[in-house]
């Protein structure tokens, strides 16, 4: 009886210990536009309607980070607030800790600040804290709260190829707090330090004309649309880091055929989970889709011409191939 009790105690202690072990999590952001590094006051890029943009300021908040190992199993990273600034692209942002024995597949976070913290006093924090006093200021006042995103720069509205009209889009207000999800099941391991996240500033301007009154501070339509783009339009994506030990030959997974932008993949195994991912030479994900059956047909109309890497994942097997799009 004592032996059984002793065994029970030891197992309980081992279980508690396994859950008490934590790992540190940090993010690093790659600021890009059109697949190239973004430099404030220098980089000029083209948005959906052909207009040229040059950014002089690009800051935004991410908060309340949840890590999912499945649809029903998640861990909250406590006190997780990040201020991402294109002015400081090399910073490694300390996020917090998570249980070491968890294998996370998805990251959920707010673009902005939750209501509880949004109306607090920034002077309660050190200047080094994301919610502390900043220059230029990211706090609008106790009533309005923090600027969730501050994007400033110039747009070419006289069509001479040189951005000349100043714009400022400062988005704030509890009603503009949106959620974004990162599917990391086919990219890096969550234990990668730092975990690299790509930002594509072209995506921020999806369906935004950048004409008329483009000095907008508040929660108007333009502000809302830009934050929705930040959350849902592919502005934030995990960087793909391939592991050579998982690589197999493509023909062992599927047959692959390409006719310029038309892709056809026939998987050998009809039952396992499958993903098709395409990323640029710089490591930016441009396409990702989970495959429900053994046949994948897709027309790559949404990417520009150039070289890409297509990664095909079938269960625990992964294969990659370089492709060229005309």
pLDDT of residue 65: 95
pLDDT of residue 98: 82
Q: In this structure, what are the phi and psi dihedrals at residue 286, rounded to the nearest 5 degrees?
A: -115, -15
Distance of alpha carbon 111 from alpha carbon 323, whole angstroms:
34
pLDDT of residue 293: 81
Helix (H) or strand (E) holding 262: strand 262-267
pLDDT of residue 283: 62
Distance of alpha carbon 155 from alpha carbon 133, whole angstroms:
29
End-to-end CA distance of the chain: 74
pLDDT of residue 41: 98
| Low pLDDT (below 50) residues in the chain | 1-19, 243-245
pLDDT of residue 309: 83
Q: Could you read off the pLDDT of 183-222 as tens digits, one per residue?
A: 876 555 555 678 889 999 999 999 999 999 999 999 999 9
* Domain residue ranges in the chain: 21-238, 244-325
pLDDT of residue 192: 61
- Residue 183: helix, strand or coil by DSSP? strand
pLDDT of residue 8: 40
pLDDT of residue 14: 41
Class of domain 244-325: mainly beta
96, 80 Cβ separation under 8 angstroms: yes
């Amino acid at each position: 009886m004592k032996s059984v009790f002793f065994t029970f105690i030891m197992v309980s202690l081992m279980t508690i210990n396994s859950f008490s072990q934590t790992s540190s999590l940090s993010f690093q952001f790659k600021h890009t536009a059109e697949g190239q590094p973004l430099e404030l006051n220098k980089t000029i890029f083209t948005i959906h309607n052909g207009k040229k943009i040059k950014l002089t300021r690009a800051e935004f908040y991410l908060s309340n980070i949840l890590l999912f190992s499945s649809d029903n199993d998640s861990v909250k990273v406590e006190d997780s607030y990040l201020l991402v600034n294109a002015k400081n692209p090399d910073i490694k942002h300390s996020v917090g800790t998570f249980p070491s024995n968890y294998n996370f597949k998805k990251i959920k976070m707010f673009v902005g600040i939750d209501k509880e913290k949004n109306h607090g006093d920034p002077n309660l924090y050190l200047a080094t804290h994301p919610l502390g006093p900043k220059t230029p200021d990211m706090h609008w006042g106790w009533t309005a709260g923090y600027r969730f995103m501050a994007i400033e720069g110039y747009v070419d509205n006289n069509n001479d190829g040189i951005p000349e009209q100043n714009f400022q889009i400062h988005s704030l207000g509890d009603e503009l707090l949106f959620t974004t999800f990162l599917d990391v099941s086919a990219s890096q391991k969550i234990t990668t330090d730092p975990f690299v996240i790509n930002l594509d500033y072209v995506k921020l301007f999806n369906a935004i004309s950048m004409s008329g009154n483009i000095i907008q501070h508040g929660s108007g339509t333009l502000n809302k649309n830009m934050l929705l783009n930040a959350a849902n339009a592919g502005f934030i994506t995990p960087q793909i880091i391939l592991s050579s030990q998982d690589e197999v030959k493509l023909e062992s997974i599927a047959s692959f055929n390409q006719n310029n932008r038309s892709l056809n993949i026939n998987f050998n195994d009809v039952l396992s989970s499958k993903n098709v991912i395409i990323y640029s030479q710089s490591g930016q994900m441009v396409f990702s889709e989970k495959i429900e059956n053994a046949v994948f047909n897709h027309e790559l109309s949404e990417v520009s011409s150039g070289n890409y890497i297509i990664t095909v994942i079938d269960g625990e097997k992964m294969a990659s191939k370089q492709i060229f799009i005309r």
